[in-house]
Structure 1
Amino acid sequence: MAALSPALARTAPLYDRVRRVIPPIEWPAFADDADAILELKRRRNAVILAHNYQTPEIFHCVADIVGDSLALARKAMTVDANVIVLAGVHFMAETAKLLNPDKTVLIPDLAAGCSLAESITAADVRLMRERYPGVPVVTYVNTSAAVKAESDICCTSGNARAVVESLGVKRVIMLPDEYLAQNVAAETDVEIIAWKGHCEVHERFSADDIRQLREDHPDVTVLAHPECPPDVVAVADFSGSTAAMSDYVATRKPPRVVLMTECSMSDNVAVQHPEVDFIRPCNLCPHMKRITLKNIRSALEKNEHVVTIDPAVAERARRAVERMLAI
């Protein structure tokens, strides 16, 4: 039998973490980059923050901190490192920079965007304020720093209702995800004025999808992200953020489950719960999938691409994020 290459030998413990979701024949394509990334992190005093939608070889093998947008925002504040690599999309890298202004924050691919972030501009927020004077603006973290700077407070899918109700008012503007706003409105007495932005992954799920899943798998438990259309959330067994869905699986341990969210989420949760059967309707986020081991390695080797935010914008955007984190 041929001897393992040095990188394959060194990364064998990493592959043990993901062997349930990555076939053995695929691992050699990842081993060299994973091995190099571990050494680059040590050399540069760097950490990798990875969103739940990253692929398993990133999420389970090279990331130091993983989670949903809220978890990454909170943990970014406590990072003891010189360099942060954000394995996610651009607004997440901006948020990490807002909370760590003195650290170098890198995004491996500048084109890793977000349909929600691109659905609204700072000028749009100013126009909403003119149309609804005195109504506070709650802005989803899936937005640019410029949009956050025009807002009163930020929220995530995991804390949106708590943020809305914390303001103690009868009416709020909630931007930019229309479906998240509608799903929160169904849970609170606060009137919510929504924007018509949608997530290109979650908007593709339908109530008919769930009905078909239940016909094919009568025992399935359906968990839906609150960025899904309200009719999807209405017929699901549970709706919550990616962290809440992961916690549901960990605590309830349904025999068979489907996560109505981005594809890689199921793979990452499945690694930790071999006793659960995951049905995988696959809607990929093309932006999240722009992040790879290869461009994470390149980012650390070449110090690319450095995230910068205009200081005047950053100061105001940081306030909106910090108000959210204080709740």
Structure 2
Amino acid sequence: MNKSYLISEINRLKTEKNAIILAHYYQSEDIQEIADFVGDSLELSKKAQTTDADIIVFAGVYFMAETAKILNPNKKVLLPDINAGCSLADGCHHDDFKLFKEKYPEHVVVTYINCSAEIKALSDIVCTSSNAEKIINSIPSSKNILFAPDRNLGNYLSKQTKRDLILWEGSCVVHEAFSLDKLIEIYKNNPTAKIAAHPESESHILKTAHYIGSTSGILNFIKTDTATTFIVATEAGILHQLAKTVPEKTLIPAPSVQDNTCACSECAYMKINTLEKLFQCLKNEGPEISINEKLRIQALEPITKMLELS
């Protein structure tokens, strides 16, 4: 379908149905441009909690839309493509994690928001990369902590907070795809550049970084730092908002191990959503996210604790 037609129809349907489009920074440029709000996981959770829209269209991945439904049981929550998954969420199954948790009955269970409702329901508190350090520090030092599902974020948090965390062995395929050798080569060619990295990246990438933080943290760092060139080690979708925010600065995507066309790391799950799927989603009001009420209440508690601390 014609792009201008899709944009016009999406805007018409939003007004007609009192719908809001929430988009993650990793979505395509077209979707970011038509969204009512673009943010990281924490910002999107807060926005989902406070919106007065009747319909929430979540342009992101499944666990994000599911979290929005947990927070808004009486609203219709839609996902443009139901197959928009996440390697972290998909790699942490309920039965396996339940058995893992049972080995550490005295531990406080902290889970990264990149997990299913079933995993959240087994948690004491949820966190995002924006508030993870704050969440860990809020737990008394006398308490032991089990952290899942991202081992890279867990290792980073362990170093930052000086806490010995028990880690689930999960990882993000996107943030583990960065090539250290290629990154060093780019840095040699841009010696005044600063490297900004997401804490889901592997430790050898984080060791090179001048700044480590969430997607919104990286945006703020690049916006306020005096450097003029930045190498960005997170999903390449962030570059769109960055280019709009700081057009005078040079932004270089950190290269991935794979020899792909953009030489950067992209999340195939995030990019499975398209403008046409967004239109069809609003038009047909589906795919719709549904969740068992008992599970929703169980998963809501650790999310609420996170939002209160944030």
Question: Same fold, TM exceeding 0.5?
Answer: yes
Three-state SS of the structure 2 residue aligned to 1:49 is: strand
* C-alpha distance in structure 2 between counterparts of 1:185 and 1:39, whole Å: 48
* C-alpha distance in structure 1 between counterparts of 2:227 and 2:276, whole Å: 36
Q: Which residue does 2:260 correspond to in 1? A: none
* C-alpha distance in structure 1 between counterparts of 2:191 and 2:128, whole Å: 32
Alignment map for 1:120-199 (pairs within 5 Å): 120-169=92-141, 170-199=143-172
Unaligned residue ranges in structure 2 (runs of 5+): 256-263
The correspondence for 2:286, drawn from 304, 309, 313, is 304
Range moving further from structure 2, 248-257 or 138-147: 248-257
Alignment map for 1:283-302 (pairs within 5 Å): 283-302=265-284
Question: In 2, are the aligned partners of 1:210 and 1:236 still within 8 Å (CA)?
Answer: no
Q: Tell me which amino acid in the other structure corresponds to 2:11.
A: L
Aligned pair count? 299
1:143-173 Cα distance to aligned partner (Å, 9 max, x none): 0111101111100111111111211144210
* C-alpha distance in structure 2 between counterparts of 1:171 and 1:112, whole Å: 34
Q: Which residue does 2:68 correspond to in 1? A: 96
* C-alpha distance in structure 2 between counterparts of 1:59 and 1:253, whole Å: 27
* C-alpha distance in structure 1 between counterparts of 2:285 and 2:10, whole Å: 13
Q: Which residue does 2:174 correspond to in 1? A: 201
Question: In 2, are the aligned partners of 1:55 and 1:268 still within 8 Å (CA)?
Answer: no
Q: Which residue does 1:22 correspond to in 2? A: none
Q: Tell me which amino acid in the other structure corresponds to 2:106.
A: G
Three-state SS of the structure 2 residue aligned to 1:259 is: strand
Unaligned residue ranges in structure 1 (runs of 5+): 1-27
1:164-208 Cα distance to aligned partner (Å, 9 max, x none): 121114421000001000011110122111111110100011432
* C-alpha distance in structure 1 between counterparts of 2:41 and 2:204, whole Å: 24
Question: In 1, are the aligned partners of 2:106 and 2:144 still within 8 Å (CA)?
Answer: no
> What CA RMSD, in Å, does the superposition of the two structures yield over aligned residues?
1.2
Question: In 2, are the aligned partners of 1:221 and 1:257 still within 8 Å (CA)?
Answer: yes
* C-alpha distance in structure 2 between counterparts of 1:267 and 1:219, whole Å: 22
1:41-97 Cα distance to aligned partner (Å, 9 max, x none): 00000000000101122112x111110000000111110110000000000000100
Deviation at 1:128, TM superposition (A): 2.0
The correspondence for 2:231, drawn from 235, 242, 258, is 258
Identity between Structure 1 and Structure 2 (%):
39
Three-state SS of the structure 1 residue aligned to 2:286 is: coil
Q: Tell me which amino acid in the other structure corresponds to 1:113.
A: G
Q: Tell me which amino acid in the other structure corresponds to 1:95.
A: T
1:100-157 Cα distance to aligned partner (Å, 9 max, x none): 1110000010100000000101222221221111101100100011110111110011
Please, what TM-score do these two structures have when normalized by structure 1? Answer: 0.89
Three-state SS of the structure 2 residue aligned to 1:203 is: coil
Q: Which residue does 2:302 correspond to in 1? A: 320
Q: Tell me which amino acid in the other structure corresponds to 1:301.
A: K
Three-state SS of the structure 1 residue aligned to 2:56 is: strand
Alignment map for 1:54-65 (pairs within 5 Å): 54-60=27-33, 62-65=34-37
Distance verdict in 2 for CA 1:184–1:209, change over 3 Å: farther
Three-state SS of the structure 2 residue aligned to 1:187 is: helix
Three-state SS of the structure 1 residue aligned to 2:85 is: coil
Three-state SS of the structure 2 residue aligned to 1:202 is: coil
Decide which structure has the larger Cα Rg and report it: 1
Q: Which residue does 1:76 correspond to in 2? A: 48
Question: In 2, are the aligned partners of 1:46 and 1:84 still within 8 Å (CA)?
Answer: yes
Q: Which residue does 2:259 correspond to in 1? A: none
* C-alpha distance in structure 2 between counterparts of 1:105 and 1:79, whole Å: 12
Deviation at 1:253, TM superposition (A): 4.7
